[in-house]
Structure 1
């Protein structure tokens, strides 16, 4: 199990992804697991993340923040020689986070990151990036991020989706500014060009820059802050890209076990559909 003593530098990794991407022709996922120990949270970086995503300042980490801490290791893994797909072009289609208890800002963390479960998707192939976060050798936070590599269509492939939240009964309407992609990139390190500027997004087929999926998830959970238990699971499916700038309708509905929530375009198409269960 390779050990990372510091967070990998994302700049050189993005350059590597750009150079090596055309040479990646598919194949099996590597069985590498990266581990990084003694991770501490920078209060200033956390405060800026909270500002961008809408969280308040607390002694506990937002449930989405360990994703930020592990992101460089996941990019390292997906730019390694044995990884079969180009990093550029992967589509984040779903994300699941399970938290057994809140993580404290002052705790030292250990994280492991690996990829698994290459399987068919109706639009190509999908796989999971699996992250576990531990405190004193006890795993208390787990994440499964599902990515799609668009390719040969397979209409027989199963695709599970969350229960739909119908549009039309919005709890709030959000004005999402044009620079939110750049602001989230600054706090997350995720500088995919589709999120940064209209010009770079157009090179990848988008009419304007689009918001990060994990910003959308974090922003929805920030709107539910104060209503969530300490132990919970949050599932989301990412849908229609959220173009920047735009207005989006946020809906939250209580359920027997927690909440259903969604982010819709003004035309009613879902950008994100999710659920919280305790």
Structure 2
């Protein structure tokens, strides 16, 4: 990208950008390729995400029309509601060329953070700004199970804004990368979970994204597919994109990313060099 675009506000008020945001020094131990260009792509400023969850309801509180009418007549309130503070005051800046791994135990807020960056969850407090349109890829990415792999490839590429000519150009590459071969002519309902995950990744990574968010999409792939996926992520980085990767396989994170954020109970516990952060995470 020749010139910096005006940062697009996803949610909330515009945060104060650190004065050194365009001149952040490289972290100790990084290779020359891993040095950010100095152009911010994602700014997360004091982000808080709160879920509202209704507590376990008794038989008299369960959500049906009769019980709802009874509560109205008796002037009773709703069943007890509980707030879950999933992300608590997270702040960081990502740059062009960054591949950022996000690690943490289940329930630490990793997937919630990605969904907030993608603009799918509104902040309770704080803000997220992105330069370009983030694209979220996860194992549950929406493809239509009743349609064939071929139709899903075409529709998925159109959804990303590709032209018919670009779809024709990328079609066979997507099929080959996913490894589904002759299954491309069958409905996705006949695919294994691994085949579906590989196809989703192949479609989403066929286009160069400003910000690509990957949530456990590589977990179901075999060794050969993971190797191809890691190479594709490197290609995205080299084309001045930014990648966020959530994965429980720490080896993939360490070999693919130039930076790791460790989330613990919704807060950033550590942010820095992959080897240092992963070593601390394993000890903790």
- The structure having more radius of gyration, on CA atoms, is 2
Instruction: Provide TM-score, normalisation by structure 2.
Output: 0.25
Higher relative contact order at CA 8 Å, sep ≥6: structure 1 or structure 2?
2
Structure (1/2) with the larger helix percentage: 2
